[in-house]
Amino acid sequence: MTTPLRVAIIGAGPAGIYAGNILNRTALEAGREVTIDLIESLPAPYGLIRYGVAPDHPRIKGIVNSLHEMLDSGAIRFIGNVTYGVDL
């Protein structure tokens, strides 16, 4: 029997979300249980995709939709308004 994995990823931008998604898929393929917490200092995920790029750009909408699907899968728990080194 294997111990379930518990992972915290700091940063809920595209890289953090993709890392969580890949970790979850890899764990499932290996038959491992994993809990992933995505910790972000801002109140909402997506990093510069949300705050730094024109939201009406078609490619950006596609990326945001993909990231949203990954977060909605239930495998990744988003924790916002938390600053690493201050709150943790």
Q: Which fold has domain 5-79?
A: Rossmann fold (3.40.50)
Q: Where do the domains of the chain lie?
A: 5-79
Q: What is the pLDDT of residue 63?
A: 83
Distances (CA, A) of 73 to 33, 37, 58, 66, 78: 15, 13, 23, 11, 12
Question: pTM for the full model?
Answer: 0.85
Name the residue type at position 28: L
How far apart CA 82 and CA 88 sit, in angstroms, is 7
Q: What is the pLDDT of residue 54?
A: 64
Query: pLDDT 10s digit of each residue in the chain, 88 long?
Result: 688 899 999 999 999 999 999 999 999 999 999 999 999 999 999 887 777 666 667 777 778 888 888 889 888 999 999 998 999 8
Bridge partners (DSSP) listed for residue 67: none
